[in-house]
Structure 1
């Protein structure tokens, strides 16, 4: 979808200039799974509608992210625990895969061109997105929103801050279940997910990392279902 509303340049200049700082706040900052993001193995956690959460994984552990209602996009990031400036990067990942969407067994590549995670299971039809930036306040401004709107970029920043980390930037996320078809004229569309309730993906950590997730707050275009109604997703961490 193209820009519909002119930029409010004066408003933009009043917002934080650092990519680390959120443009607003929501419940994400106050609801970490634990003070430092360490999970209880096997426990099911919620990523509430319109919010985010972050979790620490050790190399070899697997996170299962569950599309509880089948209609929800989950923006997903991974940062190396030992160097937050190394993170899952889809500019690098698409080149590695020579494709747009990873399949089961594919590595998910960092900006240092090595696997940070591996996609080990996917019960959905496998339609995800690696093209679109995380929604942010600027995106909602172009869609005509006048006040603060929850957004995935801020959910990442807030989820990381909630466990004592500053995200160095907002990389291109792995947009789980986001349906962005590309036609033969190389145009894209914004469509509802084709996943079903309970579908999940398993991502195995190939290094110690922090995984952040956002239950995408987009409620203007139908990427979270025809009703444009964001809902919660869930996750679990297993050895």
Structure 2
């Protein structure tokens, strides 16, 4: 409680939260996309679901005051604060080995999917399914012709988002290792981010 955790570049981290506790994700350098997930601590088959959340907020990017819904259509997190410009993504799946193979990578490449699985195993909470993540600070504009772009973040160093747990849960993040398309900045260089667990307000 009150500790700042480093999420190393290309790696993941998972923490347990009690109902009412808060978690803050910090875009330390301003350029890093952070994939995020939340799971019911008592039932890993219930998790934060982007498709259910979009219906719940009537939009594609949540903002402070919104409830982030599970696949059982109830809030698992409440979005409390956003010091960034508010550009996040809810439509893109976590990167995985297949994504990098499609981008021409041969051999192994770190991925958010693997980062999630390893982070959850590390705290004794393995899951069978990798849900679509809430991609914090990720800039995927939807164009008038319904195509999408893959653009660098628009955050500045130190921007953060804060959430409150609405049930006992496991919260996980990945400092996305994408280094082929410029979502982590034009330099294609993933960097670390930070996470803080805060007491109930």
Q: TM class, shorter-chain normalised?
A: over 0.9
1:224 to 2:190 alignment: no
Deviation at 1:168, TM superposition (A): 2.2
Q: Contact between 1:156 and 1:167, CA under 8 Å: does it hold in 2?
A: no
Partner of 1:117: 77
Aligned match of 1:214: 174
- Aligned match of 1:189: 149
What residue is the counterpart of 1:94 in the other structure? Answer: 54
Residues of 2 paired with 1:213 and 1:135: CA distance?
13
Highest relative contact order (Cα 8 Å, sep 6+), 1 or 2? 2
Give the whole-Å Cα distance in 2 for the aligned partners of 1:111 and 1:85: 9
Q: Distance in 1 between matches of 2:8 and 2:97?
A: 19
Please show how residues 165-204 of structure 1 align to structure 2 within 5 Å.
Answer: 165-204=125-164
TM-score in terms of structure 2 length: 0.98
Contact 1:46/1:235 (CA < 8 Å) preserved in 2? Answer: yes
Distance 1:64 1:131 in 2: 22
Identify the match of residue 238 of structure 1 among 189, 194, 198: 198
- Residue 88 of structure 2 corresponds to 128
Tell me the equivalent position of 2:42. Answer: 82
Q: Which residue of 1 aligns with 2:27?
A: 67
**For 2:43, what is the secondary structure of its paired residue?**
coil
Q: How many residue pairs are counted as aligned between the two chains?
A: 199
Q: Which residue of 2 aligns with 1:15?
A: none
Higher Cα Rg: structure 1 or 2? 1
Residue 190 (structure 1) shift: 0.2
* Structure 2 SS opposite 1:164: coil
Alpha-carbon distance in structure 1 between the residues aligned to 2:173 and 2:62: 18
The gaps in structure 2 that reach 5 residues or longer are none
- Shift of the alpha carbon at 1:98? 1.0
Instruction: Please give the alpha-carbon distance, in whole angstroms, between the structure 1 residues aligned to 2:146 and 2:163.
Output: 29
Give the match's secondary structure for 1:96: helix
Give the corresponding residue for 1:51.
11
Looking at structure 2, the residues matched to 42 and 228 of structure 1 have their Cα atoms a distance apart, in angstroms, of: 32
Large movers: runs of 4+ above 4 Å: none
Note if contact 1:63-1:202 (Cα within 8 Å) is conserved in structure 2.
yes
CA RMSD of aligned residues (A): 0.5
Q: Distance in 2 between matches of 1:144 and 1:183?
A: 26
Unpaired runs of at least 5, structure 1? 1-40
Partners of 2:160 and 2:101 lie apart in 1 by 32
